[in-house]
């Protein structure tokens, strides 16, 4: 498995979000297969890039293939892969991994969890498990400490679930969330997360 190069990310962000399923995130001795992603684009209000170029969003508008890591709710670090051409604010949020290497280290970082399916089943959980933090913001995902590797040869996604993104209040109806349908390591859809989309659809 080789690191994904900038060309992989320099495409429509929704395509990249789908194609990142099955790829591997590595940091040190820990690694996991991506099983859930979400796409964000400057053209819609749920994206941080919607406000334009600021100190915070600068990495989003930078060259593709770098990390955008930010603090959420004052507690968690969330990992994104910057996409599309330089100057366009777009990124894929990595929402869940299936742990493959360094399970003991992950358990140590995560504290007591019921079972290994909960080690990386959420965007805040996986960064904690892999030891990814704000210091990795704007680092190169092909050469830096945190890397994303291509799918293994012959890997097939099987069933992919497409649906609305989780935990947002604006543009909640856009179906830009992708997950491996049968995978046990995806994040649990927040039951309390706005039924607005469903109501609107019904």
CB-CB contact of 30 with 130 (8 Å): yes
Classify strands 177-180 and 30-41 as parallel, antiparallel or unpaired: antiparallel
Size of the site for DNA (CB under 7 A): 42
Residue 141 vs residues 25, 166, 197: alpha-carbon distances, Å: 9, 24, 33
Comparison of 44 and 140: residue with beta carbon closer to DNA? 44
Q: Which of residues 63-102 bind DNA (CB under 7 A)?
A: 68, 70-76, 78, 80, 91, 93
Closest CA to 161 of 150, 148, 177: 177
The vertex-159 CA angle with 90 and 72, nearest 5°, equals 35
Q: Which of residues 128-187 bind DNA (CB under 7 A)?
A: 134, 165-170, 187
Among 5, 101, 190, 200, contact with DNA (rule: CB under 7 A): 190
Among 24, 30, 57, 183, contact with DNA (rule: CB under 7 A): 57
Among 29, 54, 152, 175, contact with DNA (rule: CB under 7 A): 54
Least Cβ distance, residue 61 to DNA (angstroms): 11
């Amino acid at each position: 498995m080789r690191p994904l190069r900038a060309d992989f990310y320099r495409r429509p962000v929704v395509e990249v979000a789908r194609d990142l399923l099955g790829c591997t995130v590595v940091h040190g001795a820990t690694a996991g297969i991506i099983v859930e992603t979400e796409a964000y684009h400057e053209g819609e209000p749920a994206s941080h890039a919607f406000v334009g170029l600021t100190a915070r969003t600068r990495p989003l508008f930078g060259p593709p293939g770098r990390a955008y890591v930010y603090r959420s709710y004052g507690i968690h670090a969330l990992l994104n892969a910057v996409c599309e051409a330089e100057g366009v604010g777009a990124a894929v949020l990595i929402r869940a991994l299936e742990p493959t290497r360094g399970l003991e280290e992950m358990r140590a970082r995560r504290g007591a969890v019921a079972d290994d399916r909960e080690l990386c089943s959420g965007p805040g959980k996986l960064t904690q498990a892999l030891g990814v933090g704000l210091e990795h913001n704007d680092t190169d995902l092909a050469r830096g400490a945190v890397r994303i590797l291509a799918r293994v040869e012959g890997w097939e996604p099987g069933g992919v679930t497409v649906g609305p993104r989780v935990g947002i209040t604006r543009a909640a109806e856009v179906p830009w969330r992708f997950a491996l349908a049968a995978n046990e390591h995806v994040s649990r859809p927040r039951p309390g997360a706005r039924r607005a989309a469903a109501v609107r659809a019904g």
